[in-house]
Amino acid sequence: MTLLKPIFERILIIWALVTSWLKYHINHEGNIVLLKRLLEELDSQTADMEQKLGAEPPHPLKRQENEVYEWLENAERIKTEVQTIFQISERKFLSRDHFGKLIDEKTIEVKELLQEGRLNTKISAEKCFKYLIIGGGVAAGYAAREFVNQGLKPGELAIISKEAVAPYERPALSKAYLFPEGAARLPGFNVCVGSGGERLLPEWYVEKGIELILGTEIIKADLDSKIVTSAGGMKFSYDILIIATGSRAIKLTEFGVKGVEAKNIFYLREIRDANKLVEEIRAKKKGKVVVIGGGYIGLEVGAAMRINQFDVTMVYPEQWCMPRLFTREIAAFYEAYYENKGIKFIKGTVAVAFVVGSNGEVKAVILKNCRVLEADIVVVGVGAKPVIELFEGQVEQAKGGIKTDEFFQTNYPDVYAVGDVATFPMKLYNDMRRVEHVDHARKSAEQAVKVIKASEEYISTPEYDYLPYFYSRVFNLSWTFYGDNVGDPVLFGDNNPASAKPKFGTAWIKNGKIVGVFLEGGTTEENEAIAQIARIQPPADKYLDRLRKGGYFFACKLELC
Ligand code: FDA
Ligand code: NAD
C-alpha cells in the first residue's frame, strides 16, 4: 500500500495537470469564439450606423454626429488591433498566456463599445414588445407585412436580426447577386418582391412603427421569463414570440476536412457571405473554382461561377446531382447541360483536405479518391441545419426542427416557429415535415400571424394545408416542382440537353395516383397546372398515357385546369 501511495499521488497530480490544461484550452477557445462573435456584432452595428448616417437628414441617430464618428473610429481601431493580435499569434510571436490576456482585454473593450453604440442609436437597453420575431430573413419580412395587413399599432412589433440589412429574398444570393453584369443588389430584392409584392424598404418599417433591430444576435432565450438577450447584453421582453432563425450552412469541419481555415473557402447563407464571394470573384478573375456539393447551392453557384467565366469543377459524393429531388434521368439532363457549358463533374467522392499556400489562401483540394484539384476559390454547399440551439430543452423538437401544430404554435404557450426551423403537420401527406424553401417560409409566416391576430378576436383560422413547391433557375433553364417525389417516376417531354429549348418533366406515381410533378421550361400556365395536378392527385391510369404522349401539354389539357 505504502508503495502504491506515491504512484497514486503522481496519478492525481497528472490528472490535475491534464484537467487544468484542458480547462485552460477550452476556456481559451471559448474566449476567442466570444470575441469573434462580438466583433461580428460590432461589424453589423457599424454597418447599421453608417447606413443611418448616410440617410437623409434628420438621420435616425440620438447623438451628435461627431460622437458617432468618434465611435466609428474606435470600432475601426479595435478591429485592426484584434486583427494584428491574431496575426502576431499565428506567427507564434506571442506566448499563449499573453495572447489570452490580450483577447480578454479586447473582449471587454468590444463589449463596452457595443454598449455605447446602442446609445448612439434609437435602441434602448431594455425593450418590451407585444410581438417579437427572432430572425430577420424571409419569414420575418413576410410576417411583418402580414401583421400590418391584419392591423398593427406602432411599437407593437420588433424584429431582431443578426444581419445588418432589412429582410430580403434570400434566393437572389446564389443567382442574380453573383452575376458579372446587371447583378441584383439591395434594396432591389428586399421582401416581398420575390412573390410579386411591394418591396419593404427600411423606411417602411419605420413608417409602420416596427422596430427593426439589426446587427444583433440573440444568444439566450428564456421562454419562462419571456426575455431574450443579445450577444452585447441587451434584453428584450415579449408577449408573443415568433422563432424565424432559419438555417445555417453545414461546415466542412463537421466532416473532419483538413485545412478548412484557408482563405477563399466560401459558404453561402447570408448577404455578408455573398459579398465576400463577389469580392473574390472580382479578385480571381477567370480562375479555377471547385464547388463542393451537388445540391441547390452547388448547382446554382456552379452555374453563376461559370457565367463569370471561371473554370468550374463540381465534386459530390453521390452518383448524380441533387439526389434528394432529381431522378437519375433528370440529373443526367442538367449534368450534360452543364458539361456543354464547360463545367466538369467529379462524382462519388468528397474533399478530405485543402492545400493552403503561404499567403493563407487555398491552393488545391485533395479528394478522397486521391485526386488533387487546383483551386483559386472553393465554394461549399453541403447542406443546411436549422438554427434552434437557443430553444433546446425548452420547446419540443421533431425531425431536426421545432415541432409545431398546423398553426405553427410550438408546445410552449405564446411561442411560434416558422420557416426553415418548423417541423409541421403536412396535411396532404399526413406526415410531419420540415421544408427549407422560400415559398413555405413566406406562407408559414403569414399563417402564424393570421393565427395570432385571429386568436386575439377569438376567431379560428383554417389549418395550414401546404403543397410543397420548389424551384431553381440556372443559365437559361428554369424548373419547378410541386408535390411529393415518392413512388415511380415517369419521364416525359424533350430532355435533350442540346435542344434549343429543352422542355421536359417527370411525374411521380404512388398507389396509382400522380403525387408530384417536375417541369423544366414550363410556362406560367403549365406550372400552375402541374401544381393543380400535385394537389388533386388524379388517377395515373387515366392520365399516364396522355402524359407520356402529350408531355407537358398534358398539364394544360387536363380537365382540372
Ligand atoms: P432565413 O435564413 O431567411 O432567415 C433567418 C434569419 O435569422 C437570418 O437573417 C439570420 O441571420 C437570423 N438569425 C439566426 N439566428 C439568429 C439569432 N440568434 N439572433 C438574431 N438573428 C438570427 N429556396 C427556394 O425555394 N428557392 C430558391 O431559389 C432558394 N435559393 C436560396 C439561395 C440561398 C443562397 C439560400 C441560402 C437559400 C435559398 N433558398 C431557396 C432557401 C430559402 O431562402 C430559405 O428556405 C428561406 O430563406 C427560409 O426563411 P427563414 O426566414 O426561415 O430563414
Ligand atoms: P442540399 O441539401 O441541397 O445539398 C447538399 C449536397 O451536399 C448533397 O446533395 C451532396 O451532394 C453534398 N454533400 C453532402 N456531404 C458532402 C461532403 N462531405 N462532401 C461533398 N459534398 C457533400 O444543401 P445546399 O445545396 O447546401 O443548400 C443549403 C440550403 O439552401 C438548403 O436548405 C436548400 O434548400 C437551400 N437552397 C435552396 C435553393 C432552391 O430551393 N433553389 C437554392 C439554394 C439553396
Which residue type does 138 have?
A: V
CA–CA dist 222, 228 (Å, integer): 6
Bridge-partner residues for 431, per DSSP? 426
CA–CA dist 472, 196 (Å, integer): 17
Tell me what pLDDT residue 549 has: 67
Burial of 41 (0-12, 13-18, 19+ CB in 10 A): buried
Tell me what pLDDT residue 59 has: 47
CA nearest to 383, candidates 295, 303, 321, 305: 295
Domain boundaries, the chain: 19-120, 126-248+386-456, 252-382, 476-560
Residue with cell 479555377: 288
Between the CA of 39 and the centroid of ligand 1 the distance, in Å, is 22
**What atom of ligand 1 comes closest to residue 230's alpha carbon?**
19
Residue with cell 453541403: 382
Q: Quote the cell numbers at residue 57.
A: 437628414
CA–CA dist 140, 426 (Å, integer): 21
**What atom of ligand 1 comes closest to residue 246's alpha carbon?**
53
Mutate which of 191, 245, 435, 482 to test ligand 1's pocket (most atoms within 8 Å of Cβ)? Answer: 245
Mutate which of 296, 371, 423 to test ligand 2's pocket (most atoms within 8 Å of Cβ)? Answer: 296
Tell me what pLDDT residue 140 has: 98
Residue with the smallest CA separation from ligand 1 atom 50 is 246
**What atom of ligand 2 comes closest to residue 381's alpha carbon?**
26
Contact 519, 480 (CB under 8 A): yes
CATH T-level fold of 126-248+386-456:
FAD/NAD(P)-binding domain (3.50.50)
The tally of CA atoms less than 13 A away on the side-chain side of residue 470 is: 16
Alpha carbon of 513 to those of 312, 319, 466, 518, 537: distances in Å?
40, 28, 18, 15, 6
Residue with cell 484537467: 19
Tell me what pLDDT residue 238 has: 96
CA–CA dist 87, 105 (Å, integer): 17
Between the CA of 153 and the centroid of ligand 1 the distance, in Å, is 27
Residue with cell 431536426: 400
Tell me what pLDDT residue 58 has: 42
Q: Please, what are the averages of pLDDT over each run of 10 residues along the chain (561 residues)? A: 64 58 56 86 80 54 70 92 87 81 91 78 69 98 98 97 97 98 97 97 97 95 96 92 98 96 97 97 96 98 98 98 98 98 98 97 97 98 98 98 98 98 98 98 98 95 97 98 97 92 94 95 89 92 71 56 44
CATH T-level fold of 252-382:
FAD/NAD(P)-binding domain (3.50.50)
pTM over 0.85: no
User: Which CATH architecture best describes the domain 476-560?
Assistant: 2-Layer Sandwich (3.30)
CA–CA dist 236, 246 (Å, integer): 20
Give the pairing type, strands 422-426 and 415-417. unpaired
Tell me what pLDDT residue 123 has: 44
Residue with the smallest CA separation from ligand 2 atom 24 is 383
Q: Which residues line ligand 2 (CB under 6 A)?
A: 174, 247, 255, 292-298, 300, 316-318, 322, 350-351, 381-384, 436-437, 470, 472
CA nearest to 444, candidates 310, 246, 253: 246
The tally of CA atoms less than 13 A away on the side-chain side of residue 125 is: 6
Contact 423, 400 (CB under 8 A): yes
Which residue type does 529 have?
A: A
Between the CA of 110 and the centroid of ligand 1 the distance, in Å, is 28
Q: Quote the cell numbers at residue 440.
A: 413555405
For the CA of 215, the nearest ligand: 1
Burial of 154 (0-12, 13-18, 19+ CB in 10 A): exposed
Contact 334, 315 (CB under 8 A): no
CA–CA dist 304, 515 (Å, integer): 32
**What atom of ligand 2 comes closest to residue 250's alpha carbon?**
26
Domain 252-382 in the same topology as domain 126-248+386-456: yes
Q: Which residues line ligand 1 (CB under 6 A)?
A: 134-140, 160-163, 170-171, 173-174, 217-218, 244-247, 268-270, 387, 390, 419-420, 436-439, 441, 470-472
**What atom of ligand 2 comes closest to residue 471's alpha carbon?**
41
Outline where 229-295 has alpha helix (H): 271-283
Contact 552, 561 (CB under 8 A): no
CA nearest to 512, candidates 537, 495, 531: 537
Tell me whether the omega of the peptide bond preceding residue 192 falls within 30 degrees of 0, making it cis.
yes
Between the CA of 217 and the centroid of ligand 2 the distance, in Å, is 25
Between the CA of 223 and the centroid of ligand 2 the distance, in Å, is 32
CA–CA dist 377, 365 (Å, integer): 10
Contact 264, 287 (CB under 8 A): no
For the CA of 142, the nearest ligand: 1
Contact 50, 107 (CB under 8 A): no
Residue with the smallest CA separation from ligand 2 atom 19 is 350
CA–CA dist 268, 248 (Å, integer): 9
Q: What 3-state DSSP class applies to 264?
A: coil
Contact 121, 164 (CB under 8 A): no
Helix (H) or strand (E) holding 18: helix 4-54
306: which residues sit within 8 A by CB, 6+ positions away? 312, 338, 341, 342, 343
